[in-house]
Each structure stands twice: as C-alpha cells, then as structure tokens.
C-alpha cells in the first residue's frame, strides 16, 4: 500500500496538530503520500495555491473555500496508482483511481462525510470539462490548467484555446492574463 495509509494525525508532532489548520495537515499528509516525487508535490501545491487565491477573489464562503482547497490538494492522488496498474496516468484513469484514495485520506484525518463526498466527486471529475456543476469545480479546473499550461510549455495558441474554452471566473481569467501573454485579453467580449 501507499505511504498515505500509514500517515494520519498521529504522525504530526503534538505541537503541529494544534498549530496547523486542516488544510495544512492535509498538505503534509499528501506530501507524505507523494514522497519522494518532488514534481507531483510541487504540482499539487501550485494548484492548491492558485485555487485558494481564485476562491478568495471569487468570494467563496469558508465552507466552499475549504472544500475547494482540499480538492486541490488531493486532485491528482490517483496518478501513482494509475501508473502502477495501467502503466499510464491519463485523466480518465486519474478520475477512476483517485476518489477512493482521497476518501481514505480525508477520513483518516477526520473530515466530515459531506466534505469527503464533494472532494471525491471533484477528484473523480477534474479532467471532465463538460457539465461543471459548481464554482468549486470550475475553480479547480482553472487552477489545474494554470499550472499544467506552464509545466507543459504549451504554445500561445493552445493557451488561448484553453482560455476561451475553460476560463469562466474573473479571478481565474485575471491570473491567466497575468501569467500568459497570449492576446487572450483581446478575446474578451
């Protein structure tokens, strides 16, 4: 099994469990799960930070913000299991393998079932760009694209197409336009 199965609140130093909020505890747990894969750790931390910022720019209430941030932290938890099982980790396989692991991790950390259900749903759909059913889903997709476009070195044309097809929140659009000089701002109606 994975490192995550042995990582729970008891692995935090006593003083840490009182100083850290739930998202910070989740970040540490996910880092332990992904170790020693620095690339994956760097990826989810960047997605989390962009999701956090977009959520704040969009004025999410604290409960929705926490769901969004938790989903951003664990969104790619299915990559390593997919690679082990199938020899690849494309989006549909991540969406298949990720939700049970996200559920297990959040349960071990004492998260509420309603939050776990929504986070698992988001993990299981974060590469599905049709029928986005909530602001948390929309922001997660935008944050993941902000990171993937940069990490993948996508062309300006590809960036413009993603902007046109995917970005809906004002916060996400703002961050995109700040990061990428693609002329996307000229496409705004």
Looking at the domain assignment, is residue 187 inside a domain?
A: no
Looking at the domain assignment, is residue 189 inside a domain?
A: no
pLDDT for position 121 = 97
Looking at the domain assignment, is residue 188 inside a domain?
A: no
Q: How far apart are CA 185 and CA 101, in angstroms?
A: 39
Domain CATH number, residue 97: 1.10.3210.10
Taking the chain (189 residues) in consecutive chunks of 10 residues, what is each chunk's mean pLDDT? 43 62 95 94 97 98 97 96 94 93 96 98 95 96 96 88 96 95 57
Q: How many residues does the chain have?
A: 189
Count of structural domains, the chain: 1
Residue 162 belongs to domain spanning: 3-181
pLDDT for position 10 = 44
Looking at the domain assignment, is residue 54 inside a domain?
A: yes
Looking at the domain assignment, is residue 15 inside a domain?
A: yes
Q: How far apart are CA 65 and CA 136, in angstroms?
A: 8
pLDDT for position 16 = 61
pLDDT for position 183 = 56
Q: How far apart are CA 77 and CA 98, in angstroms?
A: 5
pLDDT for position 19 = 76
Looking at the domain assignment, is residue 86 inside a domain?
A: yes
As a three-state string, the secondary structure of 92-138 is HHHHHHHHHHHHHHHHHCCCCHHHHHHHHHHHCCCCCCCCCCCHHHH
pLDDT for position 5 = 42
pLDDT for position 65 = 98
Looking at the domain assignment, is residue 65 inside a domain?
A: yes
pLDDT for position 67 = 98
Looking at the domain assignment, is residue 126 inside a domain?
A: yes
């Amino acid at each position: 099994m994975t490192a995550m199965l042995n990582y729970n609140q008891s692995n935090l130093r006593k003083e840490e469990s009182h100083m850290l909020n739930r998202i910070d505890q989740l970040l540490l747990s996910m880092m332990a799960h992904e170790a020693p894969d620095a690339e994956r750790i760097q990826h989810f931390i960047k997605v989390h930070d962009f999701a956090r910022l977009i959520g704040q720019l969009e004025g999410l209430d604290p409960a929705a913000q926490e769901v969004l941030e938790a989903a951003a932290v664990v969104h790619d938890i299915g990559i390593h299991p997919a690679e082990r099982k199938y020899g690849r980790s494309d989006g549909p396989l991540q969406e298949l393998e990720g939700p049970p692991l996200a559920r297990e991790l959040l349960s071990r950390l004492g998260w509420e079932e309603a939050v776990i259900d929504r986070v698992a749903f988001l993990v299981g759909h974060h590469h599905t760009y049709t029928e986005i059913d909530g602001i948390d889903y929309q922001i997660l997709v935008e944050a993941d694209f902000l990171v993937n476009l940069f990490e993948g070195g996508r062309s300006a044309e590809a960036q413009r197409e993603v902007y046109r097809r995917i970005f809906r929140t004002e916060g996400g659009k703002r961050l995109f336009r700040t990061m990428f000089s693609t002329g996307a701002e000229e496409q705004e109606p």
